[in-house]
Amino acid sequence: MSNRDDSVVRGFMDGIDWEEHLGHDRKGVQVFTSVDGTREGKGCIKAGGRCGIVEVEVRLIRWVEPQDLEADLFPMFRPVKKGGGSDAEQG
């Protein structure tokens, strides 16, 4: 799963995301690791807007689906099927 030993991560997000988008947007929101990162990454703040920045905690409740990064990120390392060739070549 993950190498993280804690289940809570602190971060920062803009105030509009906090008030309006968290829990409502299909595409989600961004949580940044620093105040400066939030300033650099959000259009409202970069453009001189005053949407504010909030500090948040994200808490892991449970894994809904197991993580398998090797299968997702490294498909070329999937086992070769008997008879030669990869899954793609087997068609």
Distance CA 91, CA 88 (A): 5
The verdict on residue 81 lying in a domain is no
The verdict on residue 53 lying in a domain is yes
pTM of the complete model beyond 0.85 = no
pLDDT tens, position by position, 2-12: 555 678 999 99
The verdict on residue 85 lying in a domain is no
Please give the pLDDT value at position 88: 53
Please give the pLDDT value at position 54: 94
Distance CA 58, CA 55 (A): 10
- Which region, left, alpha or beta, applies to residue 87 given φ > 0 means left and ψ of -120 to 50 means alpha? alpha
The verdict on residue 69 lying in a domain is no
User: Do residues 52 and 12 make contact, with C-beta atoms less than 8 angstroms apart?
Assistant: no
If one compares 1 and 64, the residue with the highest pLDDT of the two is 64
Structural domain span for residue 39:
1-60
**DSSP tag of 87:** H
Give the closest residue to 51 by CA, choosing from 33, 67, 63, 39: 39
Structural domain tally of the chain? 1
pLDDT tens, position by position, 34-70: 999 988 887 677 667 788 899 999 999 998 988 877 7
